[in-house]
Structure 1
Amino acid sequence: MSHKTALTEQIFTLVDMLYREGMTTVVTSPGSRSTPLALAAEIHPGIRTFIHPDERSAAFFALGLSKKDKQPVGLICTSGTAAANYTPAVAEADLSHIPLVILTADRPAELRDAGAPQAIIQNNMYQNYARYFTELPIAESGVPQGFILDNKVRRAAAFFGGTACGPVHFNIPIREPLMPDMNRVDLFHREPSRTLTRTVPDSIEALSGHILVILGETHTDLTDVKALDCDNVTVIADPRQHYRLHHSDVITNHDLIFLSLTDTQIQDLETQFDYIIRVGEPLTSKASNQFLKRTKIPQIVISEYDNIKTFPKEPVKVYTGDVQAILDQIITSGVPGSDFLTRVNEGIGDMIEKNVRHYGDEGRMMYEILNQLDDSHSIFLSSSMPIRDYERYDLKNVHRVYANRGANGIDGVVSTALGMSAGEKMTLIIGDVALYHDMNGLIMAKLEQLNINVIVFNNNGGGIFSFLPQYTHKEHFERLFGTPIDLNFRHTAALYGYPYTEVEDVEDITADLLNRDGRQIIEIRTDRTENLESHQALKNEIATKVQSID
């Protein structure tokens, strides 16, 4: 058997077996050593490929493709630092349970640690984040590949879904010559056979009494969970939890609630609930998490995944598996409890509705965006201020919301949103520093003819730091935290081929602007100091209102 035959059989079979397990999409970055991998994915009849020239952005683009439906998405790159650029996205995938399939080409053993170009240590390079790692043997005559590959792929596929879902890594050393036999399409013969099972714990202790349910982000659709409609249940939902789209009585102003309650009101609240059930990912709201950390109400966590997130407080009990089934078993109906949180939630909404028009800050701009944006648009929110302003100023609860809140960073926000835009109408709301951080990601709209609405709040720096204690140290603040970058994104739009609009006033935010077809960048220029003062003023007005409610 020739080297070409052995290489072709190994790589084509690997890609076809991954296709069998559900990998129907692959993002490839150009490179030489990865030639057979890239070609195998490109000519496979069941795989859709995207080509991204920047590995760091490519990985987040793949993460976005996988994020909505949690389908395994492949990543192919050449050897060397190309693979290292995947690391931020692999970390996010790990913490967000996203099944990325990382296929890194590598130098063979004789070229490692010998000064050969593009040779770094790639073995287990994502060891803190990948759920499974393996290295393939060199493709050569006399080494049977079928059984070896099937065993490795099936082990990796255990992490493509279910309670252990997350990224996996195949490192693939390849000897030259690199070209496979392009006629061997007969090796692509497997049918998709991926099956997922939902697990339910054997013994679930049913709870009675008044229950506060905290819904973080879940992959599972909780819309029709009947237990959440019981009269003795009060539901709080994170912006990323789509349950809020279908239930008008859900509490979404919890961040402002827990920012505003007096100690006496908190003590009264503690007497109103017998249990707190936390479902899915931790909440975005810092104030709500602080309440959960200090309350003495017993807390139960229900997790879709084995790597349970106990933040912000260790629960008294944890259940892992099918969230719908667990909720329906753990909650028993009972008599209605206090409607205090519901009344406060409604009071805050009324207060914002009546008072937000007195302001012209980023919060007011966010309010107008959410009112003018068509309901059919999904929204991707950058970390820092956009997701917090959305949580505070969204009174409609009609848009599907996504964000990278695994690591809570600003890495790859543009690329992740663009990956998600391949399947639905997408509006990205982002700050100037985060957009600068992933500007390379914008190229995919041009290369793949993707449509996305990019709204950038440009306050010339890190606006969220103005809300933190370091803001009081003015002599160091701007240099270390404010970090003004003085960018005009008109030039960015021109570089990457996006129509551009600059917004200077609230009245410029119109339905016509926000809902245009195609791709565009809308830049909203704001002032960080004015934004801080306006946010604090409205927050204080709301606190006064909340503290007057019995």
Structure 2
Amino acid sequence: MNHQELLTRQVFTLVDALWSYGMEEVVISPGSRSTPLAIAAELHPGIKTYIHPDERSAAFFALGLSKAYHSPVGIICTSGTAAANYTPAMAEADLSHIPLIALTADRPHELRDTGAPQSIDQNNMYRNYVKFYTELPLADMHATAVELIESKILQCAKYFTGIDIGPVHINIPVREPLMPDVTMLELFHRTQKHSPGYRMVDASADQFEGTGLLFIGETVEDITGIERVVDRDGLTVIADPRQHLRKSLKNAVTHHDLIFNALSDEQYKFIEENVDFILRIGEPLTSKAANKFLAATKIPQYVISELQSVKTYPVSPAASYTGRVTDTLEHLVFSGGNARFKNWLTDIDGFITEYIDEHISDFSDEGRFTYNIIQSTREERSFFLSSSMPIRDMERYDTLNVHSIYANRGANGIDGVVSSALGTAVKRPVTLMIGDIALYHDMNGLIISKLEGIDINIIVFNNNGGGIFSFLPQYSDKNHFERLFGTPLDLDFTHTAALYDFNHITVAEVDEIDGDLVNRPGRNLIEIKTDRDKNLKEHQKLKNDIAEMVKAIEH
């Protein structure tokens, strides 16, 4: 076989083997060295490809494609710093357990460390963030070439599902000429394999006696169906905004951040004396106040982890269980307990909901806007929330709990939020809520909406700076705050909307938020201009008012 045939056999086999283990979507960033990989993905009959010219945004877009179902998604780029731009998304994928497959083209070995252009050390370059790494040999005539690829993909695919799910990296050095033989489609001949799924580890039937608190964070698994196990008088469920179970589980506590921020010493003592165990399921919660409570309490804690790498934050548990949440719960026996504590905590949660619904018209800050947006948004629309204020405002002001909510909370960064939201919007109607700095940080990501015709509603709170910092101790140092933390950018997003073919709507008053605005079809950039200082004062007022109410509730 000549070089072209050998190269074609290698890359077509690679792509087909990955497809057989579930890679049905690939995001390609154009480049020369990655030509054979891009063409292989484009020609494969079972793969949907997307073209994104910015590698950093492309990787976050792929992460968004995988977000809801944790399906393996490929990303293809050329050699050099193109591959380095995948790093932030690979870090987020690692911490969020997203099976990204980085396929990085590379220079052949004779061009490395010689000063050849577009050549950097790509060997295991994501070593801190991937579950698996391999580098393929240069395409050659060795009899085991195809078998090697199949063996490597078999090893790689174990991280596409299960207790070790996460990103992987395959580096592919390629010699010129780079064009494969586009007629060799017979190499796409494999059938798709069934996922091995999860296996239980520590499948013991442990007994949990008495009254329990269940903190349920985001999970890879859709845990709808566990209601029959956890909906009992002796168990009180606290659900993170990203946990979709809160939509179906009655009496789930969702205002826990406000509650744990407000507890009196007597109420804290009541919890300590009336709760026998705490069970934490899935990822750590968003709420800082809830995590501070977990770090301080003396109540014994246990963790159900879907992943082999158990996340112990905010405090190490007495014991942990690893495997599917539903399977693990089937092996746990709950007995005893009574409804007294559950009624007390769920009543507080209900009182907070009623208080917000009744008094929200007294406010006009970003929280009030968020409340109106939630109330006006149809249930079938999902929210994608930027880190910092949007996720926290959703947690505080959502009194409906009917929407699916997504966010990049693995590394909690603001990079790639736009791209991840657009990836999620490929498969469902999405409203992205974001601040001006986070939108600026990933404006390049908007191009994919134009190239692929992806509809999305983007609501940007433009408070001319980093609003979250106003809630931190740095705010007290007025001499340095604005320059170092407030960072006003004075951006006019009408130009952004025009550049990327978005409709631009400016909102000045809360009353302008209605169903027609927030549910409109197409690509819409809704800009809400707010004041950071006013936002801080009104947020704190509502928090303090609710704290006084909570402290007055007897047990």
Q: Determine if the TM-score, normalized by the shorter chain, exceeds 0.5.
A: yes
Deviates more, 1:142-151 or 1:253-262: 142-151
The answer on 1:83 being equivalent to 2:72 is no
Question: Contact (CA 8 Å) 2:231, 2:249: kept in 1 or not?
Answer: no
Q: Render the CA deviation track for 1:381-424: whole Å, top value 9, x for unaligned.
A: 00000000000000000000000000001010000000010000
Give, in whole Å, the separation in 2 of the partners of 1:333 and 1:456: 48
Give, in whole Å, the separation in 2 of the partners of 1:189 and 1:54: 32
Show the counterpart of 2:279: 277
Which amino acid in 2 is paired with 1:134? T
Show the counterpart of 1:463: 467
1:140 Cα deviation after fit? 2.2
Which among 263, 280, 301 is matched to residue 261 of structure 1?
263
The answer on 1:320 being equivalent to 2:301 is no
Give, in whole Å, the separation in 2 of the partners of 1:506 and 1:37: 50
Question: Contact (CA 8 Å) 2:507, 2:526: kept in 1 or not?
Answer: yes
The answer on 1:12 being equivalent to 2:12 is yes
Which among 496, 505, 521 is matched to residue 517 of structure 1?
521
Indicate the SS of the match to 1:190: coil
Question: Contact (CA 8 Å) 1:89, 1:412: kept in 2 or not?
Answer: yes
What are the within-5 Å matches in structure 2 for residues 8-47 of structure 1? 8-47=8-47
The two structures have a TM-score, normalised by structure 1, of 0.99
1:328 Cα deviation after fit? 3.0
Which among 248, 251, 255 is matched to residue 249 of structure 1?
251
The answer on 1:435 being equivalent to 2:439 is yes
1:533 Cα deviation after fit? 0.3
Show the counterpart of 2:550: 546
Give, in whole Å, the separation in 1 of the partners of 2:197 and 2:426: 27
Which amino acid in 1 is paired with 2:309? N
Show the counterpart of 2:428: 424
Which amino acid in 2 is paired with 1:220? E
Give, in whole Å, the separation in 1 of the partners of 2:80 and 2:207: 53
Show the counterpart of 1:475: 479
Show the counterpart of 1:148: 148
Give, in whole Å, the separation in 2 of the partners of 1:463 and 1:144: 57
Which amino acid in 1 is paired with 2:69? D
Which amino acid in 2 is paired with 1:523? E
Q: Render the CA deviation track for 1:314-342: whole Å, top value 9, x for unaligned.
A: 00000000101212332424342322211
Show the counterpart of 2:131: 131
Which amino acid in 2 is paired with 1:317? A
Show the counterpart of 2:189: 189
Q: Render the CA deviation track for 1:112-143: whole Å, top value 9, x for unaligned.
A: 01010000000000000011000000012346
Which amino acid in 1 is paired with 2:380? S
Give, in whole Å, the separation in 2 of the partners of 1:523 and 1:496: 15
Show the counterpart of 2:301: 299
Indicate the SS of the match to 1:430: strand
Indicate the SS of the match to 2:480: helix
Show the counterpart of 1:358: 362
Indicate the SS of the match to 1:474: coil
Give, in whole Å, the separation in 1 of the partners of 2:379 and 2:66: 23
Which amino acid in 1 is paired with 2:293? F
Show the counterpart of 1:103: 103
Indicate the SS of the match to 1:120: coil
Show the counterpart of 1:376: 380
Indicate the SS of the match to 1:391: helix
Deviates more, 1:323-332 or 1:410-419: 323-332
What are the within-5 Å matches in structure 2 for residues 342-421 of structure 1? 342-421=346-425
Give, in whole Å, the separation in 2 of the partners of 1:315 and 1:264: 25
1:198 Cα deviation after fit? 2.4
Give, in whole Å, the separation in 1 of the partners of 2:330 and 2:516: 44
Show the counterpart of 2:171: 171
- Change in Cα spacing, 1:331 to 1:494, as seen in structure 2 (3 Å) is farther
Q: Render the CA deviation track for 1:54-90: whole Å, top value 9, x for unaligned.
A: 0000000000011111111000000000000000000
Which amino acid in 2 is paired with 1:193? K
Indicate the SS of the match to 2:261: helix
- Change in Cα spacing, 1:180 to 1:151, as seen in structure 2 (3 Å) is same
Which amino acid in 2 is paired with 1:100? L
Deviates more, 1:116-125 or 1:133-142: 133-142
Show the counterpart of 2:221: 220
Question: Contact (CA 8 Å) 2:382, 2:405: kept in 1 or not?
Answer: yes
1:210 Cα deviation after fit? 0.4
Show the counterpart of 2:58: 58
Q: Render the CA deviation track for 1:514-547: whole Å, top value 9, x for unaligned.
A: 1111110000000000000000111111011000
The answer on 1:233 being equivalent to 2:263 is no
Indicate the SS of the match to 2:238: strand
1:223 Cα deviation after fit? 2.2
Deviates more, 1:460-469 or 1:324-333: 324-333
Q: Render the CA deviation track for 1:454-494: whole Å, top value 9, x for unaligned.
A: 00000000000000001000100000000001101111101
Question: Contact (CA 8 Å) 1:25, 1:74: kept in 2 or not?
Answer: yes
Which amino acid in 2 is paired with 1:173? P
Which amino acid in 2 is paired with 1:223? T
Which amino acid in 2 is paired with 1:410? I
Question: Contact (CA 8 Å) 1:206, 1:329: kept in 2 or not?
Answer: no
Question: Contact (CA 8 Å) 1:35, 1:179: kept in 2 or not?
Answer: yes
Deviating above 6 A after TM superposition, structure 1's stretches of 4 or more consecutive aligned residues are none
Question: Contact (CA 8 Å) 2:204, 2:331: kept in 1 or not?
Answer: no
Q: Render the CA deviation track for 1:430-475: whole Å, top value 9, x for unaligned.
A: 0000000000111111100111010000000000000000100010
Indicate the SS of the match to 2:349: helix
Question: Contact (CA 8 Å) 1:231, 1:333: kept in 2 or not?
Answer: no
Which among 279, 288, 291 is matched to residue 289 of structure 1?
291
Which amino acid in 2 is paired with 1:289? N
The two structures have a TM-score, normalised by structure 2, of 0.98
Show the counterpart of 2:161: 161
Deviates more, 1:341-350 or 1:117-126: 341-350
Give, in whole Å, the separation in 2 of the partners of 1:381 and 1:484: 21
Deviates more, 1:289-298 or 1:319-328: 319-328
Question: Contact (CA 8 Å) 1:73, 1:99: kept in 2 or not?
Answer: yes
Which amino acid in 1 is paired with 2:169? H
The answer on 1:487 being equivalent to 2:488 is no
Indicate the SS of the match to 1:537: helix
Indicate the SS of the match to 2:12: helix
Which amino acid in 1 is paired with 2:118? Q
1:374 Cα deviation after fit? 0.8
Show the counterpart of 2:212: 211
Give, in whole Å, the separation in 2 of the partners of 1:136 and 1:549: 64
